């Protein structure tokens, strides 16, 4: 993408409503624009990051055997009356009426709807296990939205729902999502630690929150430092096999949120391994048994010929929140530092002297070669001062900056800078292209 033809409104000053670093940087780098309290538009750069996160989440869900669907944002109140949650959910649920005065709501979550889909079609245990997920906008009318997209009212979430014949099967489904989450967050470039969590109003008796450590996190967390070094399962993990060893490796080390904190257990850990920190919840997995299947009548016939209420779990990832969480975990004074896997572009190609025939030709050539190699490039082809170009490129945080100016070109050289470390190398044009193609 040529900068001259893109829409990338960056801000030099920090808007005053933004308090935490991720919110400031998201506004300054032109990722989002606030439209109302807790409601944001996603501008081109932010949209690309969001799409990259979605892509990785989707790949790992699919790998773990979950199947993608798409449910609507608007739901009928009737379904929620069946589960009893229409009255229980309270003011956080945005309730609206259509032109026929029918009661509707903007979905805060989808347990009822997915259970309705399930009960409409599935009759036999032979169709299980089943895990359906979607990535859709949710609305929760928070009393106090804050910190930009970290706690918005409208937010993008991946939510998966598993259906099994009995509890042991449901626990295996839980483990599959648990392992998928380990892989997902690792690929997104963040270290998310599963922690024993409170089950809250959704209910259930097995749940973990996946928490990214960050100083500005909303939750206090307590963990054994050794939990940070547990291994990430590989892409070749057999999801049809026994995942208990992987899950156990992560859950035997102490790691808990404030609500579930067990002081005695924590203090049993050698002092040098105790870590008290703050974190951002980016995902949560629940096993809640028949909490919804019983009231909604989601049952299958088992091998014994009898009907069984299905055992369910739900598994959420805060996709839009992750954009902020990644920035909280990965930035410096100059701006964002995107992990390569979700960066809006891999390379920022900087033309330091637009209008100079040699420099233009070299940049245009590099741009073409990189694009042909399948590398996503943001090409700053706008006539401007070097300092402004560098500052903007640092702000938006692309992993690589390829700096092309007349001085270097006189020696047939360009400069390649790695955003994360600030490390620079002077290379020939060919060497620079090869380096970027190699990753």
Partner RNA sequence: CGGGGCAUAGCGCAGUCUGGUAGCGCAUCUGGUUUGGGACCAGAGGGUCGCAAGUUCGAAUCUUGCUGCCCCGACCA
Assess 256 for contact with RNA (CB under 7 A). no
Minimum CB distance to RNA smaller for 89 or for 239: 89
Q: Which is nearer to RNA, 289 or 316 (CB)?
A: 316
Which residue's CB is nearer to RNA, number 100 or number 144?
A: 144
Residue selected from 30, 107, 152, 194 as contacting RNA according to rule CB under 7 A: 152
Among 103, 166, 167, 218, binds RNA (CB under 7 A): 218
Judged by CB under 7 A, which stretch of 245-253, 263-271, 316-324, 341-349 contacts RNA?
Answer: 316-324
Task: Give the shortest CB-272-to-RNA separation in angstroms.
Answer: 29
Q: Which is nearer to RNA, 16 or 100 (CB)?
A: 16
Q: Which of 84, 203, 231, 406 binds RNA (CB under 7 A)?
A: 406
For RNA, which is the closer residue by CB, 81 or 407?
A: 407
Residue 28 CB burial class (10 angstroms; 0-12, 13-18, ≥19):
buried
- Taking residue 200's Cβ as centre, other Cβ atoms within 10 Å add up to 12
Over the window 78 to 117, marking each residue x when it contacts RNA by CB under 7 A and - when it does not, the resulting string is ----------------------------------------
Q: Is 215 in the site for RNA (CB under 7 A)?
A: no
**Distance of closest approach, residue 53 Cβ to RNA, in angstroms:** 13
**Between the CA of residue 45 and those of 10, 30, 114, what are the distances in Å?**
10, 7, 32
**Closer residue to RNA (CB): 40 or 345:** 40
| Dist CA 349 CA 373 (whole Å) | 15
Q: Does 19 sit near RNA (CB under 7 A)? A: yes
Instruction: List the interface residues with RNA, window 38-67 (CB under 7 A).
Output: 38
Using CB under 7 A as the binding rule, whether residue 134 contacts RNA is answered as no
Q: Does 255 bind RNA (CB under 7 A)?
A: no
Applying CB under 7 A, which of residues 25, 26, 43, 157 lies at the interface with RNA?
157
Binding status of residue 37 toward RNA by CB under 7 A: yes
Q: Among residues 62, 77, 71, which one has the least CA distance to residue 117?
A: 71
Q: How many residues bind RNA (CB under 7 A)?
A: 63
Verify binding: residue 10, RNA, rule CB under 7 A. Answer: yes
> Is 267 among the residues that bind RNA (CB under 7 A)?
no
Among 415, 429, 432, 436, binds RNA (CB under 7 A): 415
Q: Which of residues 270-289 bind RNA (CB under 7 A)?
A: 281-284
Question: 3-state SS of the chain?
Answer: CEHHHCCCCCCCCCCCCCCCHHHHHHHHCCCEEEEECCEEEECHHHHHHHHHHHHHHHHHHHHCCCEECCCCCEEEHHHHHHHCHHHHCHHHCEEEECCCCCEEEECCCCHHHHHHHHHHHCCEHHHCCEEEEEEEEEECCCCCCECHHHECCEEEEEEEEEEECCHHHHHHHHHHHHHHHHHHHHHCCCCEEEEECCCHHHCCCEEEEEEEECCCCCEEEEEEHHHHHCCCCCCCCCCCCCCHHHHHHHHCCCEEEHHHCCHHHHHCCCHHHEEEEEEEEEEEEEEEECCCHHHHCCEEECCCCCEEECEEEEEEEEHHHHHHHHHHHCEECCEECCCCCCCCCCEEEEECCCCCHHHHHHHHHHHHHHHHCCCCEEEECCCCCHHHHHHHHHHHCCCEEEEECHHHHHCCEEEEEECCCCCEEEEEHHHHHHHHHHC
If the CB atoms of residues 58 and 353 are measured against RNA, the closer one turns out to be 353
Instruction: State yes or no: residue 334 binds RNA (CB under 7 A).
Output: yes
From 95-103, 230-238, 365-373, 397-405, give the range in contact with RNA by CB under 7 A.
397-405
Binding of RNA at residue 290 (CB under 7 A)? no
Which residues lie near RNA (CB under 7 A)? 10-17, 19-20, 23, 34, 36-38, 140, 142-147, 150-153, 155, 157, 200-202, 209, 218-219, 281-284, 316, 318, 320-321, 334, 352-353, 385-388, 390-392, 394-395, 403-409, 415, 417
């Amino acid at each position: 993408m040529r900068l001259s033809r893109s829409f990338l409104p960056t801000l030099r000053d920090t808007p005053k409503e933004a308090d935490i670093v991720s919110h400031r940087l998201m506004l300054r780098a032109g990722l989002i624009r606030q439209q109302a309290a807790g409601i944001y538009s996603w501008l081109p750069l932010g949209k690309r990051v969001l799409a990259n996160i979605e892509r990785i989440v989707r790949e790992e869900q699919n790998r773990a055997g979950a199947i993608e669907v798409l449910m609507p944002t608007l739901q009928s109140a009737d379904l929620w009356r069946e589960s009893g949650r229409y009255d229980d959910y309270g003011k956080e649920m945005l309730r609206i009426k259509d032109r026929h005065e029918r009661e509707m709501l903007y979905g805060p979550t989808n347990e009822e709807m997915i259970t309705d889909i399930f009960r409409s079609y599935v009759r036999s245990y032979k169709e299980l296990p089943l895990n359906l997920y979607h990535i859709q906008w949710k609305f929760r009318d928070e009393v106090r939205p804050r910190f930009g997209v970290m706690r918005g009212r409208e937010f993008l979430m991946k939510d998966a729902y598993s259906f099994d014949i009995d509890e042991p099967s449901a626990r295996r489904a839980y483990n599959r999502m648990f392992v998928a989450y380990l892989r997902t967050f690792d690929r997104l470039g963040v270290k998310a630690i599963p922690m024993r969590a409170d089950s809250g109003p959704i209910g259930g008796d097995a749940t973990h929150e996946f928490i990214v450590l960050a100083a500005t996190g909303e939750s206090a967390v307590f963990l054994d430092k050794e939990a940070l070094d547990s291994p990430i399962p590989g892409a070749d993990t057999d999801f049809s096999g026994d995942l208990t060893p992987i899950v156990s490796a992560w859950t035997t080390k102490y790691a808990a949120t404030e609500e579930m904190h067990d002081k005695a257990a924590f203090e049993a850990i050698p002092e040098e391994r105790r870590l008290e920190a703050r974190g951002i919840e980016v995902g949560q997995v629940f096993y809640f048994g028949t909490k919804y299947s019983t009231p909604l009548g989601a049952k299958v016939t088992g091998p014994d010929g009898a009907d069984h209420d299905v055992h369910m779990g739900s598994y959420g990832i805060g996709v839009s929140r992750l954009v902020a969480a990644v920035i909280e975990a990965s930035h410096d004074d100059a701006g964002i530092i995107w992990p390569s896997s979700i960066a809006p572009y891999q390379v920022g190609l900087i033309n330091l002297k637009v209008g100079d025939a040699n420099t233009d030709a070299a940049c245009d050539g590099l741009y073409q070669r990189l694009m042909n190699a399948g590398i996503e490039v943001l090409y700053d082809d706008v006539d401007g001062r070097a300092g402004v170009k560098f500052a903007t490129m640092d702000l938006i945080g692309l992993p690589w900056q390829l700096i092309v100016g007349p001085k270097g070109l006189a020696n047939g050289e360009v400069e390649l800078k790695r955003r994360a470390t600030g490390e620079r190398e002077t290379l020939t044009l060919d060497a620079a292209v090869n380096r970027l193609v190699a990753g």
